[in-house]
A and B are shown apart, each in its own frame.
Chain A
């Protein structure tokens, strides 16, 4: 009898945490980046298989992109990106872990801008970052979009001098996550 009571208390406690941990997630988030220089071949890639998870109760947000999932228009550029610059066999993924500041799901009406504070891990290097993001809610879907700029040298990505004038110093990144309620 005592055991049943204890068990049901534990069970109820788990239930409560499960309700508190409401999650929104996607496996088909999109990242585009561009480092083109005018009058040279465009340096642009996109990845449509990016994973992301948002815990609405805490505002914790995590995203993970597999580097080999980035596709370029020019196959040779894709090969160089993987083998020489991003070294995707050694560092197969890029991650971002952070917290959306002052986030309350119930307060999002229409579009609202938030700041996400967190850490990027790319090419094996961690870097703290603040990303402004636009969040909107549509029924069971939370849309999160963001635009930001990264510098390859911050992540110890070396661009050989022979091509450095064809690749921009600032890489423009845009992300779109359509997070479904789990």
Chain B
């Protein structure tokens, strides 16, 4: 009886350990859309920070950026010619010159185009005037 009990306890520990291990190895990706953003910043100022080497602290952070759309591409917009934001979902309701507030993950400064890039963006607010 006691041997059987030990065996059951061992099985239980293995199952729990396996479950925790599996969840650790196959944990979910970050969900940028549900994360609270660390900072709210205008597009030109965000670019300025990276140009003056003050942007490293923002890398990989979820941030909110405000600006005017200066260029539209498939699945991405450019704000004030300073920030390139690629969206995780299709965007259909946006147009050039819209003033928008977007949330996304800052992935760094692209010196070829002199632009800061964000990915996994979502639209928080827009006004067109």
Chain A residues at the B interface, C-beta cutoff of 8 Å: 25, 27-28, 48-49, 51-53, 62-64, 66-69, 74-76, 78, 82, 88-89, 92-93
* B111 adjacent to chain A (CB < 8 Å): yes
Chain B, interface SS category: mixed
Contacts of B74 in A (CB 8 A): 28
* B76 adjacent to chain A (CB < 8 Å): yes
Which of A64, A74, A75, A76 has a CB less than 8 Å from the CB of B110? Answer: A64
Which of A28, A51, A66, A69 has a CB less than 8 Å from the CB of B76? Answer: A28
Chain A, interface SS category: strand
Contacts of B30 in A (CB 8 A): 75
CB A48 to nearest CB in B, in angstroms, measures 8
Query: CB distance B107 to A68 under 8 Å?
Result: yes
Query: CB distance B26 to A76 under 8 Å?
Result: yes
**Known contacts A27-B73, A27-B76, A68-B107: A92-B112 contact under CB 8 Å:** no
- Interface Cβ pair total, 8 Å cutoff: 70
CB B80 to nearest CB in A, in angstroms, measures 16
- Taken together as a complex, chains A and B put the C-alpha atoms of A18 and B90 apart, in Å, by 36
- Taken together as a complex, chains A and B put the C-alpha atoms of A74 and B75 apart, in Å, by 24
In the complex, the chain A residue whose C-beta lies closest to that of B86 is A49
Contacts of A53 in B (CB 8 A): 112
